[in-house]
Amino acid sequence: MPPHVALLLWFVLLLALFLFDPAKEPKVSAALWVPLTWMFFMGSRQLTAWLGWSGTEGLNSMAQTLEEGNPTDRTVELALLFLALVILISRSFKWGGFLRQNWALTLYLLFALLSVVWSGFPFAAFKKWFRDLGTYVMVLVILTDPYPLKALGTFLRRFGYLLVPLSVVLIKYFPDLARQYDPWTGIQTFTGATTSKNMLGIVCLVCGTYFFWDTVVRWPDRRNKRQKRILLVNALLIGMVIWLLNICDSATSRTTLMIACMVILAAHSKLVQRHPRILTVGIPAVFLTYVFLFFGLGLSTEFAEAVGRTSLSGRDIIWQIVLSHQANPLVGAGYESFWLGPRLQAIWASGQGAINEAHNGYLEIYLNLGYIGAFLALLYVGAMYRNICKRFKPFSSMASFSLAIWTVFLFHNCTEADFRSGPMWFTFVFACWAVTAVGRQEASEAATLQDAGGVAQISPSLGKESEDVIAHLSPWAL
C-alpha cells in the first residue's frame, strides 16, 4: 500500500472513531479538546517537530533546545494554558480552597519554585516550572467537566485513538519518521509517533492500561449490542498496543503493563472486594521487597534477565555518572536544571550518548531538588495512595484503574524518569485525582436515585457538584 494512502486511511479511521465511536458520550464538554491537544504534543512530538521546523540536529543544538526551548512550541503551550485557565474561571473554580486543602502538592510545587533561586539557570528553570503547571491545570479541566466520569473515558479514548494507530502507520509506511538508529551501535529502534522507543512504550502503557480496565468493567454486560461493539474496539486497540510494545522492545513498559492488568483483575475479584487489604497492603510490600532485592542486594541483572534483557542497558553506569555530578544533595541543582550547561556537556562526554534523564524517577527528583524535594514528592505519592485506598470500601471500579496506574508509576520509575512533565506523570495525577471526582459523582447519583424511589431521575447538570469535587477534597486527597 502506498504510504500516503495508508495515512489517508488512518485519518478516515480516526474521523470515524471520533464521530461514530460506540463508546461516544455526547454530553461531555467540548473543552476536553484543550487538554487532549496538550497531551497529544506531550506524548508524541512538539508542533515544530511535526512540521519539520526543529532546526539542525547535533549535540550543540540539542543542548541549546534543552535550555531555551522553542519559541513556537512555547507559544502553543501558553495559548493552551490560557484557554484552560479561562475554562476553569468560567466554571468558578476555587483555587484558594484547592491549594489550602491539598497541602502535599502545594508544598512540592512551592519548593520547586523556590529552587529556581539556586539554579544555575534561573530563567530556564522558571520557564520549565511554569510550563509544567499546565499538567495540573489540564487535569482540572477534565475533572471539572459537568460529567467527570464520562469526560475521563472520552479523554483517554481519544488519546489512544490518536496515537496508537498513528504509530502503527508511521512504523510500517514512514520509516524515516518512526525509526531511529543508535549513533554508537547503529541498532535500529522504533519510535512510532513519539520521539523515542521509551516514550512509545509509555504511550502504549497508558493506553493499554485504560483499554484493558475498560474491557474488564464492561465485560459483565458483554451481551449488550453496544457493549459488544465497544469491546471489539477495545480488543483492536489492545492488539495494536501489544504489537507496538513488542516491536519497540520496551521491556519496562511491557512488564509494567502486565502488572497493571494483574492489579485490575485482582481488584475486580470477589476475594479482593471482600478483603481489599490484600491489595492495599500487598502492593507496597511487594514494591519495597523489589527495591530491596534490586538495589539493596544487587539483583538487577537477575530482574533484567527475567524480562528478556541481559543487563540494565547501561542504566547502572548512568546512575553512577550522574551521582558523581550532584553538587548539592540537600536541595539539588534546581528545578529541571541538572541537565543543563557544562554539567550536561560533561555527562555527554562520558560516552553514554546524548542522554537527558537519569532513567530513574526517584534519582531524577534527587538530582534536581535534593533530599527535600524527593521527600515532598514521595509524600505526595503517599497521599495519593491513601486517597485511592479509601475508595475500595465501598468498591469503586475507578479505584481499580487508579490503583493500577499508581502501582505502574511506582515500578516504572525504577528504570525510567516519570517525575517530570510527560504522559506518565499526567496520567498518574489524572488517575489519582479522578478516583475522588468519580467517587463523589457516583455517590451523588446513588443518593438521587434513592430520593427518587429508585427511578433514574438524575439531574441533567452536575456542574456545581463537579466544582465541589475538587474544592472540598480532604487534605490527603490531592
The residues, any chain, with a CB within 8 Å of residue 100's CB and separated by 6 or more, are 106
Give the pLDDT confidence of 395-452 residue by residue, as tens digits. 888 899 999 999 999 999 988 888 877 889 999 998 888 887 765 555 555 455 455 5
| pLDDT attached to residue 318 | 86
Mean pLDDT calculated for residue range 15-33: 89
Mean pLDDT calculated for residue range 53-74: 64
Q: Is the pLDDT of residue 202 over 50?
A: yes
Residue in 337, 335, 313 with CA at minimum distance from that of residue 325 = 337
Looking at the chain, the whole-number percentage of residues with pLDDT higher than 70 is 83
pTM for this entry: 0.88
The residues, any chain, with a CB within 8 Å of residue 250's CB and separated by 6 or more, are 197, 198, 200, 201, 202, 204
Mean pLDDT calculated for residue range 149-167: 93
Alpha-carbon torsion (227, 230, 232, 234), positive or negative: negative
Mean pLDDT calculated for residue range 306-329: 76
Distance CA 355, CA 366 (A): 17
CB-CB contact of 406 with 428 (8 Å): yes
| pLDDT attached to residue 454 | 47
Q: Is the pLDDT of residue 114 over 60?
A: yes
Mean pLDDT calculated for residue range 84-91: 94
**DSSP designation for 395:** B
User: Both ends of the chain: CA-CA distance in Å?
Assistant: 49
- Among 340-354, 375-389, 457-471, top mean pLDDT goes to 375-389
| pLDDT attached to residue 25 | 85
Q: Which residue has the higher pLDDT, 214 or 453?
A: 214
| pLDDT attached to residue 264 | 96
| pLDDT attached to residue 418 | 85
Range 186-190 contact pairs with CB under 8 angstroms and sequence separation of 24 or more: 189/248, 189/249, 190/244, 190/247, 190/248, 190/249
Task: State how far the alpha carbon of 364 is from the alpha carbons of 298, 368, 419, in Å.
Answer: 20, 6, 7
CB-CB contact of 145 with 25 (8 Å): no
| pLDDT attached to residue 474 | 37
DSSP H/E element including 62: helix 59-68
Question: Domain boundaries in the chain?
Answer: 3-51+63-471
pLDDT band at 41 (very low <50, low <70, confident <90, very high): very high
Residue in 87, 210, 207, 81 with CA at minimum distance from that of residue 145 = 87
- Among 95-109, 209-223, 278-292, top mean pLDDT goes to 209-223
Mean pLDDT calculated for residue range 145-174: 92
Phi (first) and psi of residue 392, to 5 degrees: -90, -10
Distance CA 315, CA 371 (A): 21
Looking at the chain, the whole-number percentage of residues with pLDDT higher than 90 is 46
Task: State how far the alpha carbon of 43 is from the alpha carbons of 47, 52, 203, 355, in Å.
Answer: 12, 17, 7, 18
| pLDDT attached to residue 149 | 85
Distance CA 431, CA 133 (A): 17
DSSP H/E element including 98: helix 95-101
Q: What does the block give as the cell for 274? A: 471482600
